[in-house]
Amino acid sequence: MKTKFNKESRNLIIGMLLGDGTISNNYVFKLSHGYKQKEYLEWKINLLNEHGIKNNGLKKYISTCGYNLGSIVYYSQMSVIPFMKVLRRVVYKPIKNYANRKILNRLTPLGLAIWYMDDGHINIRKTDDKIHGFYIKIATCLYKEQNQIIIDYFKEIWNISFYQFKEGKPGKNTYSLCCGTQEGIKFIELIKPYVESCPSMIYKIQYDLSQRKDYVA
């Protein structure tokens, strides 16, 4: 039985691809995570199943290279379908670059939530041990002009203002996205229902501003 892709399932795959998903040269779509994120990958697989997207379930191997050397890696993959060929041609030029409005405009709040759970995190700001705010970071690791396309997308589609900052990696001229407390609250409210459905990822949207002088419960 072949996987039938409707609009909703295509948008789901796009959200996964913007994060840690990959499409190989032979058009196989793959999701992979370390052992600490096994539950998160199982959550993704359940989503694929709910949308009728055929996959090979949860598999694992021992990494033989890179920073995961010797560690367990969990993965799931899908066989070749026409939609993957289209995505591969659009996103990989020749390396992965999703700063493309044709791709971004297809994202739903669910897709944004998956992208953030893959590549984002929340940083709490403290002064004298008192929490006064937070910022959201999405590790896009793209060039300035590429990030600007994504910044414009967030502002025009979701009315959320991100800015970009230079990554601290020596020799790298790449930037990632950030937003402060007020914009971060809007972003979290947008993706919250989907993040909350995956218990192991809830920490990425948790914050407590009760110590702020202007806090209103």
Domain boundaries, the chain: 7-96, 116-205
What's the CA gap between 88 and 167, in Å, rounded? 26
Q: Which residues contact 36 (CB under 8 A, 6 or more apart)?
A: none
- Alpha helices for the chain (secondary structure H): 7-18, 38-50, 82-91, 101-104, 109-119, 144-153, 181-195
What's the CA gap between 24 and 118, in Å, rounded? 19
Q: Is the dihedral of CA 105, 47, 58, 66 positive or negative?
A: positive
Looking at domain 116-205, its CATH class is alpha beta
Which of 90, 84, 136, 141 minimizes the C-alpha distance to 113? 136
| pLDDT of amino acid 67 | 63
- Global confidence as pTM: 0.89
In this predicted structure, the answer to whether residue 214 has a pLDDT above a threshold of 70 is no
Domain 7-96, what fold?
Endonuclease I-creI (3.10.28)
* Segment 55-109, tens digit of pLDDT: 999 998 887 766 666 788 999 998 767 888 889 989 987 788 889 999 999 999 9
**Beta carbons of 59 and 74 less than 8 angstroms apart:** yes
DSSP conformation class of 92: B
Please report which confidence band the pLDDT of residue 47 belongs to, taking 50, 70 and 90 as the band edges: very high
